[in-house]
Structure 1
Amino acid sequence: MSSPSTRLEPDYAALADRVRELARGFGFQRCGITGIELGDDEAHLRDWLANGLYGSMEWMARHGEKRSRPGDLVPGTLRVISVGLDYGRRDDEEAWETLADGERAYVARYALGRDYHKLMRQRLQKLADRIAEEMGPFGHRVFVDSAPVLERALARNAGLGWIGKHTCLIDKEGGSWFFLGEIYVDLPLPVDVPATAHCGTCMRCIDICPTRAIIAPHRLDARRCIAYLTIEHEGSIDEELRPLIGNRIFGCDDCQLVCPWNKFAKRSDEPDFRARNNLDEATLADLFAWNEEEFLQRTEGTAIRRSGHERWLRNIAIALGNAPSTPEVVAALQSRRDSTNAVVREHVEWALARHGAS
């Protein structure tokens, strides 16, 4: 057995190529490797937090600089393997049609099918295990939106795409319809070339935002963002914002739907992310009728489950208040007037008043 001083170092360049090859084999459409320096992004994060633009998402501030310092979050980290996984079909036209139909419910494309967290985490862990099989044990940790990680900045530095003016990551070939995941590793792998920005003078994402949540390029006020309001925010939603939410009951895709880079993007159809429970066609009245047991049963294994039944009803009540004044819409709202939840009742009464039926 050779001594440590004479033992050959691994061919890290070959290993990096193998990592990318394995990542494709596990179903990831993109993979890159980056270092752990995020100084400029840390300054941007500090400023965003200092201005309170994170709303009630206290965890954004609670973890401090661990989010922008991978080596503090996982001591020994030298590199980050960043991967992207496509979701959804080429259904942009259908998405616009749903948004234009006030009696139908709009659910963000990423949430129509299976929750991506578990699927991606399993694949990333298999990727890490396979790397260990081929090269031996190494220090690593897998993340899929599960810890304080600046995933978009890391992905940009790994060459997966640039951060658009709407703050989503954009890839020239794949647009922005993909999830991100990471493996923090203690291997000195060669890094990829960071992606360069290609938004140019385009402002479509800023102009389309229903609530004007994108207050400047690369600057999002979460407190006005429909995704934040319908998913993260608890309690009552500001009356000023309710009419602007339209029929969006879980998330919002407008800034991505209007992005020119998505028009020509090559997208992979992942079966697990196809719509469940006809959520891409369902009416607001039908979804409003789900009791808590049915809600839990139908949303099992999906991202929607995290909103909880009460926020689900609150969101749909707002959408029904923005819907056409049909007998079906008014009847659906009246069926929840006596809800045991005060927030639901408040939003139902607001919606009924919009239809002159309070």
Structure 2
Amino acid sequence: MVDNIKLQEICKELHIPVTGATSWPLPDEAQHILFDSEPCPFTAANVKERIQGPSDFTPKSAIVCLFPYYVPFHGESNLSRYTWSTDYHIVVNTYLQRVVDKLTSLVPSAQHSIHCDTSPLADRYMAYLAGLGFYGKNKCFINPTWGSYVVIGTILTTIPFEPNQPNTETCLGCNQCIHTCLGNCLSTNRFQFETCKSYLTQKKGDLTDDERIIIGKSPLLFGCDQCQEVCPHNHNIPITPIVEFQHIEPLLDASELETMTNREFKAKYGKRAFAWRGKSILLRNHDYINNL
């Protein structure tokens, strides 16, 4: 058996700074807590999908890891911070595979599955249950040390780790995120994703005049960090210890994209988190920002 102390040691040795565990399956109240009558299109609409594990084995625990990505920078940028370095999907999956390899060497009969944002699992809720932080009014997951500039990776496993207890800290409730939101999408209890700039910069097709105006309110071609930049929980946080996130490229030359073929774009930027929507969406957003 691998105990929680050993799990923490394994993750520290692999340079993963924050790790917790929660039991599986998730508690009965999860279905009610996660229900959203109008979910964002980037989230699974079926709540049951968000609380189901793999079909080929029955997990007993979820290992949840946080990967901070904050790097201090005050120069010009037109990309959201989480896209400044290598695509976090690639980085997180690499780290989690190392954890799985280590666990397999200790418990050869155990089964595992890795998840990082590409599956419908409720990653923020699992991180909360694993004691890694709390929800902010901006709907971001906040860790007391690393703030909200974190991405979440999860391993479902047949190893029955003792679950951590949820963190008792809460958002300071200063409402700065609400007041500064470019699309006023945090003003009600329901997160109004339809007017979130981050969502709109990834939405396909031509946008309405109101949607274009929201995109034009800041220079970011992809994503939006507005509510995170003003959050007190993100003040004076340390630089990421994840070496893959320490080299940053905050500025994308939109004029270069105009002459690139799709193949050239994929070859140069395919390992960046903004690349999945393709160059046409980035150029569209650039036009909206510069022609308002």
| TM-score, normalising length: structure 2 | 0.90
Aligned length: 289
**Residues 1:34 and 2:22 aligned together:** yes
Task: After TM superposition, give the deviation of residue 291 of structure 1 in Å.
Answer: 4.6
Q: Tell me what 2:163 maps to.
A: 191
- 3-state SS of the aligned residue for 2:155? strand
**Following the alignment from structure 2 to structure 1, what is the Cα–Cα distance between the partners of residues 284 and 59?**
43
| Aligned counterparts, 1:43-192, within 5 A | 43-46=32-35, 48=36, 50=37, 52-54=38-40, 56-57=41-42, 60-61=44-45, 63-70=46-53, 75-91=57-73, 93-94=74-75, 98=76, 106-192=78-164
CA distance in structure 2 between the aligned counterparts of 1:84 and 1:235, rounded to whole angstroms = 33
Q: Deviations over 1:24-49 (max 9, x none)?
A: 12121100011232444422332x2x
- Structure 2's unaligned 5+ residue stretches are none
2-structure distance, mates of 1:188, 1:296: 41
User: Would you say the 8 A contact 2:204–2:281 is kept in 1?
Assistant: yes
1:319 is matched with which residue: 267, 279, 289? Answer: 289
Task: Please point out which of 261, 268, 275 is paired with 2:233.
Answer: 261
| 1:226-305 alignment, distance < 5 Å | 226-231=197-202, 233-246=203-216, 247-274=219-246, 279-282=249-252, 284-288=254-258, 290-305=260-275
Q: Give, in angstroms, the shift of residue 200 of structure 1.
A: 3.3
Q: Does the CA contact (< 8 Å) of 2:195 and 2:214 recur in 1?
A: no
* Segments of 4+ moved more than 3 angstroms: 38-41, 72-75, 281-294
- Note if contact 1:88-1:177 (Cα within 8 Å) is conserved in structure 2: yes
Where in structure 1 are there 5+ consecutive unaligned residues?
Answer: 1-9, 99-104, 323-358
Distance (Å, rounded) in 2 between the aligned partners of 1:151 and 1:29: 17
Deviation at 1:158, TM superposition (A): 0.6
Are 1:307 and 2:290 counterparts? no
2:204 aligned with 1:225: no
SS in 1 for 2:64: strand
Partner of 1:339: none
For 2:181 and 2:102, the matched residues in 1 are separated by 42
Kindly tell me: are residues 213 and 75 of structure 1, through their superposed partners in 2, closer, same or farther at Cα, counting changes over 3 Å? Answer: farther
Residue identity in the other structure for 1:296: K
* Separation in structure 2 between the aligned mates of residue 121 and residue 76 of structure 1, nearest angstrom: 21
Change (3 A) 1:259 1:288: farther
Displacement of 1:197 in angstroms is 3.7
Distance 1:209 1:290 in 2: 33
Residues 1:158 and 1:227: Cα distance change in structure 2 (over 3 Å): same
RMSD value, Cα: 2.2
Cα shift readout 1:73-127 (whole Å, capped 9, x = no counterpart) = 6651121000011113122x33xxx4xxxxxx52011111111112211211111
CA–CA distance in 2 between the matches of 1:209 and 1:199? 17
- The 8 Å contact of residues 53 and 221 in structure 1, kept in 2 or not, is answered as no
More helix by share: 1
Assess, with a 3 A threshold, how the Cα gap between structure 1 residues 319 and 269 changes in structure 2: closer, same or farther: farther
In the TM superposition, what is the alpha-carbon distance from 1:185 to its structure 2 partner?
A: 1.1
Hey, what's the Cα distance between the residues in 1 that align with 2:198 and 2:58? 35
Secondary structure of the residue aligned to 1:265 is coil
- The Cα of 1:293 is off from its aligned counterpart by 4.2
Deviations 1:141-160 (A, max 9, x none): 11111211100000011111
Q: Does 1:201 align with 2:206?
A: no
1:88–1:44 Cα change, 3 Å: same
| Structure label with greater radius of gyration | 1
Answer 1 or 2: higher relative contact order, Cα 8 Å, separation at least 6: 2
Local SS of the residue matching 1:249: coil
Question: How has the CA–CA distance of structure 1 residues 81 and 269 changed in structure 2, closer, same or farther, with 3 Å as cutoff?
Answer: closer
